[in-house]
Structure 1
């Protein structure tokens, strides 16, 4: 090779993932080993020049790979790689390669590439055989540890060294037991049955302040029927429960038996303190103005979570807990101002909040289910309540839904009977408007009030869906109207935004497509789960997808959201409004390559869903 070409090759390799991870000396040696090939438009690269030869990089131009039957396999352009799948073959190439433009190729010899793979983990991970494996390796150790903590069941974190006493035990003896066990609470038991709990705070507030004799039985001061949590619940759910109910000790249960205790101290030690303290503060605010004052802290929590490299799924989980806390506190304040509700009701959240996927740009989606049809006076009460809450949320930074899919819309503040009628029409007799409505209200999670109303709605939804393949086909066909922003040449397909920049919308063209696919899988498995990971678990158990598919989809979603949140954060640093529009010019080479992997995964599963659910031609 001419020495004058080396700087150009070195500089180019510095922009190509994974070779940008090499030290300058290693990259210089790699540049010196590169072979240069020129193809004129229409030229073919013979199979024997690909099989076992090395890794090819399209430096300039474009090529077309065709299968042996001449069907198109792929079109590759500037920056794309090929040849790795043929590296260990010795005879026939799996494809033919033809230049469709005048093309310049770089070839890294096999022995050079294999040495890099052996010596450098970043190169080895990049050339893992599946896109999902490459995406999985993008997670840092901090992300992995974070994932393990926030999604870990509380049974794995709870302290099993419990102070257990009977109801007749004296307060003095209970205090001694708590000291001996180094516990801040004692569980009051009747055999294996939990009767109540007494904490060190109770000892101060109820015993000393009220001058209760220490010889009295602990039953006098214990909290009866305390708040508990199931051992399979996640740490995130435990945080929310403790903050909402203002408790510092939470008994952990397994099939009615106490297996441990979770304390506020342990949560603060093991959690992102900033997020936990914010949730605690939200529940202590006494007015809308007080809640609005916490907006800067909410933004700061999001930025801190992103800056510290927290896993994208945990960012969404924690930001959803914050949103839930704002929502519930406003409902509590509304009832305090308006008085008790005249009819039992359930407030539910829909869309991204129902899926535990809230982030800084999320808008509101919610509704209200009444136990029966209200009269005019009762309607007025719920009009005032829903306006207090929804407009209050908007003032706290959760923007109003542009499509008015909120409880303030009288259409979404109705009786259970009316909601059931809606779902029956949407599912049994779907039309374009019905598909739009149900795309929001298929994801529903109870938040406040009478939970059995939401459970009744979800139970009926499952019944309507059972065996309804036509409806699933329509959901798939409706989803297929949008595709990932990746063209035939593996280049990003772009549109112009309001500032005339070339961008793609990562929410509409990627995140939403994954949401829709996993929702369809869960419905096919007759699951009522709303969270993506749990939906995919249900789909695997139901035989809808394989465990490998589950992993691919999760890794794709995690990486896409990681990129999404980082660019929202960077927009704030540049003084620009955050959005879901991303200009490829702002992506790193690493992000560009791995986003393409993620988009290809989505495309594959869209095609598979179309075939599985016979969705072709369903919508016209």
Structure 2
């Protein structure tokens, strides 16, 4: 490796430097005079391939580097000399900005991977631009946030979740447009027999149907299931036009969509064939089979097993397969929002299948009902085997006889359902917030009265109920009942500033787990000595903040990240706060998920207590940065609901 000796630094013609900086952000926003002044201080240097430019925690930055030609790699090495983080940077990229702004030595090792020319901008000149140019400060701070978060996720993946040798995962790297093969289509006027022959000839399970006149206009789709169910089973004439059995309109996804996002859509909608669109034109079809081939532990395999199960007891072992699926997603690079969404979908399908089979066992209910999911389940933020939080809401009975029948049916129904969920591995709620509790198995009118009382009388118990029940969503059954209750809550909470005041002040009682000197505040003694509860101390403040503002502004979303985005879109919080809060929340959730996954693999019960000593320097720094966002959230609540 060539040592870096700064003896080949040369002045550069101002016009050359100006031309270079005009082509990179954020220098392209500078006026001509500022660029010319900057160019006078700029130098150029040549570094042969293999030159170590910076050494992590050693090199003091005197200049900011810009790659004019060539490339470098950025990396860290552990105590065994193993490279754990890599980042390749090419022409136009910068090196050393974070260290200069923070006044620290280099935070990464930087080494040239080919002969490289760099412009060198003196440290003081760069800091002057940061101080005087608001666009500069915003650009680099945003860039640092994105790069450090990505680096932290990489480190979490590589250090904490060991990749299994037989895993070859692509859900987060391949876009569906890359999987599409030859477009197979047939005219809507073609006969069913002609369409079936074409499918057989090309050995495909579906055909797109185009307009009889305009071959570019896709009007429907048929699958081999349509041929079985709509033609053979129904005895339909094979000479009928194929448009009589096609499904329309065709559901589409963009060609740039990641396979993971398409997989979620398939699992959420139950549609197994999606047309792929590029620049407004259908280019082919992506199927569930195509995506299943990408993974060994595909979520879709488990999804199909759940949907096809005919016995409730058969669902028990399937729930225990979820950690394996999630492990693969974490190993591939899924962020917490992806992971919790997948956990929620799989849990929802287990619940849906189980309650469907239970209805078949007990018979149809006397009145329509909806199984409500509450708390973290209602927010789609479950991790590994979160405690049950559920309830039943049913239509108001027409008379006393129907009321007694409904009460008896749902009592038996809830008791069996809760037992089955326990057997699936979902623990009982210690606070008995479950449908088996008669308090939480009530008709719609009773639920409306509950919500009215909790909002009108905000004592500590009512506030506790609000943090659990107001995050509800429909899990199974008549979703219209849940929607009616949500509408009632939104209407009733308008103008209830006293309730929101108490909810906001209660939310701020949990302080950020950092001392005055920015050290972690951990448990002093007991079972979890020297550990911090990342759920209660780190994540809950974000959940509470999003809930208070969602209730205040009538946002119907229950997921914390979705609530934050809706608040940003409605201009109720600043875009920069939304970005910081979302990144901080998601990073902590990632820490929690990885921690629990490691406990499961060690065959211990998952918990939320993390030992800061087990974290890398980068992880500790990111966690501290995430915790500092909590005080900013509290500042917003304090302004909205000050103590008078």
TM-score normalised to structure 1 length: 0.70
Q: 1:394 to 1:226 in 2, by over 3 A?
A: farther
Contact map agreement 1:423 1:461 (CA 8 A) in 2? yes
| Equivalence for 1:138 | 152
Range with greater deviation from structure 2 (198-207 or 293-302)? 198-207
| Equivalence for 2:349 | 325
Q: 1:545 to 1:394 in 2, by over 3 A?
A: same
Contact map agreement 1:153 1:234 (CA 8 A) in 2? yes
| Equivalence for 1:590 | 618
The question of 1:344 aligning with 2:358 is answered no
Q: CA deviation at 1:548?
A: 0.9
| Equivalence for 1:312 | 336
Q: Whose RCO is larger (CA < 8 A, sep 6+)?
A: 1
Q: 1:207 to 1:116 in 2, by over 3 A?
A: closer
Q: 1:429 to 1:161 in 2, by over 3 A?
A: farther
| Equivalence for 2:117 | none
Match of 2:193 among 172, 180, 185: 172
Q: CA deviation at 1:479?
A: 0.8
Match of 2:205 among 150, 161, 184: 184
Q: CA deviation at 1:195?
A: 9.8
Q: Distance in 1 between matches of 2:431 and 2:422?
A: 14
Paired residues for 1:152-301 under 5 Å: 163=185, 166=188, 169-175=190-196, 184-186=205-207, 198-204=222-228, 207=231, 213-218=237-242, 222=245, 239=263, 242-243=266-267, 247-249=271-273, 263-268=287-292, 273-301=297-325
Q: Secondary structure at the match of 2:152?
A: coil
Q: Secondary structure at the match of 1:347?
A: strand
Q: 1:189 to 1:469 in 2, by over 3 A?
A: farther
Q: Secondary structure at the match of 1:481?
A: coil
TM-score normalised to structure 2 length: 0.68
Q: Distance in 2 between matches of 1:372 and 1:152?
A: 50
Structure 1 segments unaligned to the other structure (5+ residues): 1-22, 35-81, 88-107
Q: CA deviation at 1:392?
A: 0.9
Q: Distance in 2 between matches of 1:475 and 1:153?
A: 43
Paired residues for 1:497-512 under 5 Å: 498-499=526-527, 501-512=529-540
Q: CA deviation at 1:320?
A: 1.0
| Equivalence for 1:413 | 441
Contact map agreement 2:288 2:300 (CA 8 A) in 1? no
Q: CA deviation at 1:425?
A: 1.5
* Superimposed CA distance per residue, residues 242-293 of structure 1 (whole angstroms, 9 cap, x where no aligned partner): 557765335799xxx9999653234435678522211211111122321112
Paired residues, number: 512
Range with greater deviation from structure 2 (490-499 or 25-34)? 25-34
Q: Distance in 2 between matches of 1:209 and 1:313?
A: 43
Paired residues for 1:109-148 under 5 Å: 129=141, 132-133=145-146, 134-135=148-149, 137-140=151-154
Q: CA deviation at 1:171?
A: 0.9
Q: Secondary structure at the match of 1:446?
A: strand
Range with greater deviation from structure 2 (299-308 or 244-253)? 244-253
| Equivalence for 1:616 | 643
Q: 1:378 to 1:162 in 2, by over 3 A?
A: farther
Q: Distance in 1 between matches of 2:457 and 2:476?
A: 31
The question of 1:367 aligning with 2:377 is answered no
Q: 1:425 to 1:258 in 2, by over 3 A?
A: farther
* Superimposed CA distance per residue, residues 281-336 of structure 1 (whole angstroms, 9 cap, x where no aligned partner): 11111223211122442232233333444212211111111111111111111111
Instruction: Give the root-mean-square deviation of aligned CA atoms.
Output: 4.6
Range with greater deviation from structure 2 (269-278 or 537-546)? 269-278
Structure 2 segments unaligned to the other structure (5+ residues): 1-49, 62-97, 114-125, 127-136, 158-167
Q: 1:26 to 1:153 in 2, by over 3 A?
A: closer
Q: Distance in 1 between matches of 2:499 and 2:174?
A: 35
Q: CA deviation at 1:198?
A: 3.3
Q: 1:519 to 1:274 in 2, by over 3 A?
A: same
The question of 1:481 aligning with 2:509 is answered yes
* Superimposed CA distance per residue, residues 401-431 of structure 1 (whole angstroms, 9 cap, x where no aligned partner): 2212222122221111111111112223322
| Equivalence for 1:12 | none
Q: Distance in 2 between matches of 1:416 and 1:156?
A: 49
| Equivalence for 1:494 | 522
